[in-house]
């Protein structure tokens, strides 16, 4: 039987497999991925990232804030060639890894790397995505200015999602945002995760 990743990526699977190899090799050597993560790169990292896919409209511009080794932005770009993805990452070693990865994966036409913090950006995106970036209140301060007026902020959060929404209530009010907590999964046989989706109130 094929794996969930093979079924989901279909003809794009070889690109996703090349990225997983890159994470397992250079990602570990450069200290971006813990050695113990190698055996769960597909489930915990790639499939978890593309669980966002159903929440992203066709043809969107997407910013991945605090992309690290490319998560969730690179798996999303590999699965969804209709997206224009910007990976924002201020740490030099990580942004260098991202630039090399995007080049080697042959996706420079639709993925760009910006070696900077979200705080210094003035661009505007349909979707501002993040994973493991910061507590929701702080994350909103960085991501809200980058959201297009009709756009969404999508934060992969896992089980803390509802508590974080409650804790961030005053920040959400200040930015005129309303939150929904969405159960998402990439494939019927992959692990579910929880996403906080923020749009204009
Ligand atoms: C815990 S890592 C998560 C990396 C990746 N998103 C993942 O899920 O594996 C958080 C990343 O956010 C970056 N970061 C922290 N503050 C940031 C900011 N204000 N703007 C953009 N990136 C930031 C860090 O450099 C780091 O690479």
Residues constituting the chain: 201
Q: How far is the CA of 64 from the centre of ligand 1 (A)?
A: 9
Q: How far is the CA of 108 from the centre of ligand 1 (A)?
A: 21
pLDDT of residue 47: 98
Give the pLDDT band (50/70/90) at residue 73: very high
What are the pLDDT digits (tens) for 2-46? 999 999 999 999 999 999 999 999 999 999 999 999 999 999 999
Report which of residues 158 and 134 the model is more confident about. 134
Peptide bond into 72 cis (omega under 30): yes
Atom of ligand 1 nearest to the CA of 156: 8
Alpha-carbon span 98 to 64, nearest angstrom: 12
What are the pLDDT digits (tens) for 159-180? 899 999 999 999 999 999 999 9
Looking up tokens 């209530």 gives: 169
E strands present in the chain: 61-65, 84-88, 111-114, 125-131, 147-156, 177-184, 193-200
Atom of ligand 1 nearest to the CA of 91: 25
Alpha-carbon span 55 to 33, nearest angstrom: 26
Q: For the purposes of burial, counting CB atoms within 10 Å of the CB of 78, is it exposed (0-12), middle (13-18) or buried (19 or more)?
A: buried
Q: Which residue has a Cα nearest atom 7 of ligand 1?
A: 71
pLDDT of residue 120: 81
Q: Which residue has a Cα nearest atom 13 of ligand 1?
A: 66
Give the pLDDT band (50/70/90) at residue 155: very high
Give the pLDDT band (50/70/90) at residue 158: confident
Q: Could you please report the per-residue DSSP string of 140-164? A: HHHHGGGEEEEEEEEEE-GGGHHHH
Q: Which residue has a Cα nearest atom 4 of ligand 1?
A: 68
Q: What percent of the chain has a predicted confidence (pLDDT) above 70? A: 100
With contact defined as beta carbons under 8 Å apart, do 175 and 145 qualify? no
Alpha-carbon span 19 to 165, nearest angstrom: 32
Q: How far is the CA of 54 from the centre of ligand 1 (A)?
A: 23
34 CB contacts (<8 Å, ≥6 apart)? 28
Give the pLDDT band (50/70/90) at residue 1: confident
Q: Which of 52, 63, 66 to mutate to test the pocket of ligand 1 (most atoms within 8 A of CB)?
A: 66
The predicted model scores a pTM of 0.97
Residues with CB under 6 A from ligand 1: 65-69, 71, 88-91, 94, 117-119, 131-133, 142
45 phi and psi angles, rounded to 5 deg? -115, -60
pLDDT of residue 19: 98
145 phi and psi angles, rounded to 5 deg? -65, -15
pLDDT of residue 41: 98
């Amino acid at each position: 039987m094929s794996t969930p990743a093979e079924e989901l990526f279909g003809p794009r699977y070889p690109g996703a497999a090349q990225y997983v190899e890159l994470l397992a090799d250079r990602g570990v050597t450069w200290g971006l991925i813990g050695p113990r993560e190698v055996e769960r790169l597909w489930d915990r990292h790639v499939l978890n990232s593309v669980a966002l896919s159903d929440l992203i409209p066709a043809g969107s511009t997407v910013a991945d804030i605090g992309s690290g080794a490319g998560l969730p932005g690179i798996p999303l770009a590999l699965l969804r060639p209709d997206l224009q993805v910007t990976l924002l990452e201020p740490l030099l070693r990580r942004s260098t890894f991202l630039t090399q990865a995007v080049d080697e994966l042959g996706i420079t036409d639709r993925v760009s790397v910006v070696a900077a913090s979200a705080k210094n950006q003035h661009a505007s995106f349909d979707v501002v995505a993040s994973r493991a970036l910061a507590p929701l209140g702080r994350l909103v301060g960085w991501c809200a200015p980058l959201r297009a007026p009709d756009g969404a902020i999508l934060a992969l959060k896992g089980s803390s999602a509802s508590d974080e929404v409650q804790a961030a209530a005053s920040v959400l009010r200040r930015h005129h945002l309303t939150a929904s907590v969405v159960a998402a999964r990439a494939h019927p046989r992959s692990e579910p995760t929880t996403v906080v989706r923020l749009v204009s109130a």
